[in-house]
C-alpha cells in the first residue's frame, strides 16, 4: 500500500521571534524543512511527499527541495487548512497518509516506521506519543490552580500521525472548527486512534530554546 506524506510547513513561527517563516529558519546552516524532508525521505516505506508552504514562498520552497522529489502546494491560514491542501494534492495511488510537521525536523526513521507498521497492522489511525514528565495542573483565569490532573494516563503527542487516506479525508470533510492535530479530527469522527512510542528527538521546534536543543541533537548524531 503506497504511503504518502503531507508536511504542513506554512506556519509563521511567531513564537520563534521575527524572521522568515518557521520552516525556513536555519538549523546548522539548512532550513528546518530540508532537515524534515530528508528524514522522511530516508524512510523505506515513504512514497510521494507533498509540502504545504507559505503561499508567497511556494516557488522558493520548491527550488529548495529539488533534490528530494516533493510537490509543493500553498498552505492555508490554519494548520488544518494547510493539511487539507496537501491531502488534496496527493496522487491517487496513496492509501496511507502520514501528516508530519516540518517543525519536527529531527524525527527518527524508527518513529515513522512504527507509525506505518501500526497502519499496516490494521489501525485506521496511529500517533507517536511520549509519557508526560511534568505534573500537570489546570489553572483558572486568575492564575490559581484549579486541580492537579493525574498524569499516568496522559501522553504528549507527536508527528508523523498516520491514517488510512479515506479516514483522514472524511475527518477533514466533516471537521467543525480548527484542531491542532489531525488525530483530533479523526477522534471527533469516532475513529479509534492507536498509539506507538515516539521519541524525544521528534520534538517540535517552537521557541529559540528549541533551536538550541535541535543543534545539540544534531551534533550528538
Binding footprint of ligand C5P on the chain (CB under 6 A): 8-11, 22-23, 52, 75-79, 82, 101-103, 204, 206
CA distance 48 to 97: 10
CB of 213 to ligand C5P, least distance (A): 15
Question: Any residues with CB less than 8 A from the CB of 44 and at least 6 apart, and which?
Answer: 113
| Nearest partner of 113 among 181, 183, 42, judged by Cα | 42
Pick between residue 22 and residue 172 the one whose CB is nearest to ligand C5P.
22
Helices 109-120 & 32-41 angle (0-180, nearest 10): 50
Least distance to ligand C5P, CB of residue 175, Å: 15
CB-CB contact of 150 with 220 (8 Å): no
Output DSSP code: residue 142: T
Nearer to ligand C5P, 11 or 48 (CB): 11
Residue 111 C-beta: closest distance to ligand C5P, Å = 16
- Name the one residue in this structure whose C-alpha cell is 503531507: 6
Q: Give the nearer residue to ligand C5P in terms of CB position, either 24 or 43.
A: 24
Question: For ligand C5P, which is the closer residue by CB, 60 or 120?
Answer: 60
How far apart, in whole angstroms, are the C-alpha atoms of residue 129 and residue 199?
A: 8
User: Would you state the cell numbers that stand for residue 194, as one nine-digit string?
Assistant: 492507536
Alpha-carbon gap, residue 150 to 163, rounded angstroms: 29
Using an 8 Å Cβ cutoff, are 43 and 20 in contact? no
Helix axis angle, 165-173 to 79-88, nearest 10°: 130
- Smallest gap from Cβ 53 to ligand C5P, in A, equals 8
Amino acid at each position: 500500500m503506497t504511503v504518502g506524506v503531507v508536511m504542513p510547513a506554512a506556519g509563521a513561527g511567531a513564537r520563534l521571534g521575527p524572521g522568515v517563516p518557521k520552516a525556513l529558519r536555519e538549523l546548522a546552516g539548512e532550513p528546518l524543512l530540508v532537515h524534515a524532508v530528508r528524514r522522511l525521505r530516508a524512510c523505506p516505506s515513504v512514497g510521494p511527499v507533498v509540502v504545504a508552504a507559505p503561499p508567497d514562498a511556494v516557488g522558493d520552497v520548491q527550488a529548495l527541495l529539488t533534490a528530494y522529489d516533493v510537490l509543493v502546494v500553498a498552505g492555508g491560514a490554519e494548520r488544518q487548512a494547510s493539511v487539507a491542501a496537501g491531502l488534496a494534492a496527493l496522487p491517487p495511488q496513496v492509501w496511507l497518509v502520514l501528516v508530519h510537521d516540518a517543525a519536527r525536523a529531527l524525527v527518527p526513521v524508527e518513529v515513522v516506521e512504527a507509525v506505518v507498521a501500526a497502519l499496516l497492522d490494521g489501525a485506521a489511525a496511529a500517533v507517536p506519543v511520549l509519557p508526560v514528565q511534568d505534573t500537570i495542573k489546570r489553572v483558572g483565569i486568575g492564575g490559581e490552580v484549579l486541580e492537579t490532573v493525574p498524569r499516568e494516563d496522559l501522553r504528549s503527542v507527536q508527528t508523523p500521525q498516520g491514517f488510512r487516506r479515506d479516514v483522514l479525508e472524511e475527518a477533514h470533510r466533516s471537521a467543525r472548527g480548527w484542531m491542532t492535530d489531525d488525530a483530533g479530527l479523526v477522534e471527533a469522527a469516532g475513529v479509534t486512534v492507536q498509539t506507538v512510542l515516539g521519541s524525544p528527538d521528534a520534538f517540535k521546534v517552537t521557541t529559540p530554546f528549541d533551536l538550541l536543543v535541535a543543534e545539540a541533537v544534531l551534533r550528538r548524531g
